[in-house]
A and B are shown apart, each in its own frame.
Chain A
Amino acid sequence: KQEVTQIPAALSVPEGENLVLNCSFTDSAIYNLQWFRQDPGKGLTSLLLIQSSQREQTSGRLNASLDKSSGRSTLYIAASQPGDSATYLCAVRANQAGTALIFGKGTTLSVSS
C-alpha cells in the first residue's frame, strides 16, 4: 500500500530564505507526483506536476525534483516571501486510469517578514 510522508510537518523561516520541503513515498511505481498549496480553509492549488519519466519541473521560484528509485521528491522555494505561507502537500498518482491521488499530510510553512 502506497504511503506518502512529508517532513517536516511545520517550518518557520525568515523572509528571503531558500528552503526545501521533503516528500517520500513507499512504492516507486508511480505515474506522476504533484505538489499542491493549500491556504487555510481553502481548496488546493496545483503548483508543479512531475511525470514519472521526468527528474524535475520549475515554475518561477519553485523547483520540484523527483527521484523515483529512492522514492523521494523535494520542493525548493527560492527567496521565500510572506505570501508563501501555506500548507504544501505532496501527492502521488498510481496509474493513468482515474485521478485518485495519495497525499502526504503536508508541511505548514510560515514565512515571517
Chain B
Amino acid sequence: KAGVTQTPRYLIKTRGQQVTLSCSPISGHRSVSWYQQTPGQGLQFLFEYFSETQRNKGNFPGRFSGRQFSNSRSEMNVSTLELGDSALYLCASSLKEGDEKLFFGSGTQLSVL
C-alpha cells in the first residue's frame, strides 16, 4: 500500500511568487492535514480537510490556502511568498475526520530566496 505522497520534494521560489504543493493521501484515506515545520517555530498546524471541506484552520495569514478534491488529494497554496515561508511542509492523512492515526508524507522543502 503506497504511503502519503507529496510533490514536489524540493522547491525554490523567490519573494512575491506563489507556490502550490500537492499531497496524495493513502488510498481510502479521506482526511488530510497540513503542517509547516521551521527550525524556529517547530511544527505548526495549517489546516485540515475532510470531504472537500476545510474542517479546521491554524493561525496562519490568508496567504495560506488549501483545497481538497473529490479523490481526497489535497493542494495547498501560498501566495506572495515571504522569506519566512521557507520551511518543510508536511501533509498527513487519516482514514476519517478525527482519526487518531495519522500518516505523514516526507514533505516538500520550500526555499524562498
Give A contacts to B, CB under 8 Å: 32, 34, 41-46, 49, 89, 91, 93, 96-106
| Total chain B interface residues with beta-carbon distance under 8 A | 27
Q: How far is the CA of A93 from the CA of B55 in the complex (A)?
A: 15
Given A103-B43, A104-B42, A43:B107 Cβ within 8 A: yes
Q: How far is the CA of A67 from the CA of B109 in the complex (A)?
A: 35
Give B contacts to A, CB under 8 Å: 4, 31, 33, 35, 42-45, 48, 55-56, 58, 88, 90, 92, 94, 97-102, 104-107, 109
Given A89-B43, A106-B42, A99:B48 Cβ within 8 A: yes
| A103 adjacent to B98 (CB under 8 Å) | no
Chain A residue numbers with a CB within 8 Å of B102 are 44, 46, 99, 101
